[in-house]
Chain A
Amino acid sequence: MKIVGITACIAGIAHTYIAKEKLEGAAREMGDEIKIETQGSIGIENALTPEDIAEADVVIIAADIGITKDRFKGKPVIEIPISLVMKSAKGVIKKTHEKLER
């Protein structure tokens, strides 16, 4: 599965980047391809390109702040608080699989 996503926390200092790493680790463990864009205090990094989004099977937005979703029109979008990723990134990826396979 190809996953793209965004992480963003309130302060944009730590959780944003930890959640990215956790999602990537969990997805790769399950054999998925993943690219996560971070929206933090240093701005947007690892930005998703229109190609990334077009090729993706699903979009995961793990954010505690408002994120513009116009880019993801037509794609299944899963929106969750960043705490879910912090608690269990593997659980998030597993649930994503279940949802898409339904």
Chain B
Amino acid sequence: MAQTTQYRSLKNNEVQALTGQGCTSDDWSRVQVAEPFDTARLRNTQFSGDVRIGAVGGSAASTTGLAKPAGIYNAYVADCTIGDNVRIANIGSHLASYDIGDNTCIEDVGTMQTQPGAAFGNGVEIEVLNEGGGREVILFNELSSQIAYLMCVHRYRPKFIEKLTAIARSAASAVKGNRGSVGTDVRISSVKRIVDVNIGDHAVIDSAASLVNGTVLSAEDAPTTVGADVQAEKFIIGEGSQVTGGAIVSKTFVGQGCQIGKQFSAENSAFFANCEGFHGEACSIFAGPYTVTHHKSTLLIAGLFSFYNAGSGTNQSNHMYKLGPLHEGKLERGSKTGSFAYMMWPCRVGPFSVVLGKHKGTFDTSDLPFSFLDATPTGKCSLIPGLNLSTVGTVRDGAKWPTRDRRKGVVKRDRISFDVFSPLTVGRMIRGSAKLAEIHEKTEKTVDSINFNGADIKRVLLRTGQKFYRSGIHMYLLEKVLSRIEQAQGNALSKALASSPDAVYSEDWLDIGGQMMPRKRLDDLCADVESGKIADLNALNAALDKVHAAYADDEWVWVKRAYKQVFDQDVDTMSQEDVGKVAEDLLAVNGKFLRVILGDASKEFGEMTQTGFGHDGQPDDVAVDFEAVRGTYETNKFVKQIEEQIKALEGRVEKFKAQVASA
């Protein structure tokens, strides 16, 4: 509402008119109005306490978009400040202790009230990741995936946690108050109960069942929707999100650009940017950016996920009737679970892996990213290292995430590193490859399979895994060097290959709630929090932003060290000839990779895939039906993209080699 609004007391004739229209007040002198004021816009309303009413000459849009006259009709309004051109109509019980922004429409609401000392979901502690507690995340409006991750996961840094908790509590307490707020252009209708809930600008609350102790963050450029039959308590919902379709949300944080609905239920869980939860259930999960679960009978429990897609019927167990729900599990970024995949926690799955089957044992495959994990009939994990590197799904996922960022607002709280190939994943490949080589060396040829941290790997696949990883490592390092030189056109080679003086190197990289960084960056940040150098939320966010901004520089330093380690060549002293060789090698390794991807894609059009097509027809109808529905390999959009990528790569390398030759 406008800060400059001038209010005045009601005139006697206005009080008389209002009384004649069924309005009452304990004390009319405590009801103030702004100009223009029209008594006809206030009917059948009881006023209690201090009520300020803005201009009522215009109209406000309802949830259906229909513009209706501003004013107050059939309501009990207590201690509220109401902005200009607000419509409040048909309040069953009361509307109390709210500041309401301009052009807002509140209709058919049972109770809407703020109680003294309301916290609006801020300060609520949720038992994320470990259902038994001990990893509580404190909710506050500005909570990011990074801060939540550190608060939840890094409990082995007690001093840091103590300071971080203080920062979170300070941020949470800043919103505590006796009055709630509803922003401008908000549309609320047919809600039974809204108690202690702040609602941001342009939010739509349509037919929700009950909202208690929470905040709906919303902005003009990222409006938020809370829809039909939603029950939410102790919650914060971020800008641009949609919580709809009878979702039940309790002690839960829903970040920006999320979609929760179709009767999904979530408890003690945190969802960050662009998560989607439909039909299923989440209990004590940390859903990092792009965690997606769409199917009924899917239970995600006591787990850490990000860039994750849950197959139907996916579920996990976090206790076995011993000491309670103590166990937790981690599926690192980019992992997927197939239909009815089950894991008995504790387990840890390395990045970009696929998990199928019913796993009844504990395993840790974090050093074997891009792997394929199936379960034997006895529930033992059987793993093919690196197989997922060359599957069409991984490539498609990597391309789709950045294009599906639904966060449209200016403020994007979660810092997201999208790269599939990065120092994190390639570092793991280097480490994994070395381990596979070591085991392969030591294993007799008579051995059928070996055990790797709880997962069985067939001996012959130890070598295959190394081959897969070698391709991935080479492709990444060669691509980074080549693109670095390409981007620095016109500069001397040595300058193009130089590192930033501010870059930080760590062999080990971490994925902090979707933000990748060298370990040293995080250690420094944590030390600054512990020492008090970073003492408030603004400083912490600034530090995380700085780390995020340094990603490319830090990555380059890492690439150079890894290049030396893998190819035994110093990038800084590369000659033009060496650079030409980089281009040729990239063409070979990347071209081969893309052809393997195409080969994998072609399986989607094979004879076996056509099973069930041509139903009720003749044998010849199978292919015709399949083509009508799925198209052909040759015309498939993704296949064409990959083919174009191969051509582009060839053209790029040719151009580069010509440039090098003429230099």
A and B form one complex = no
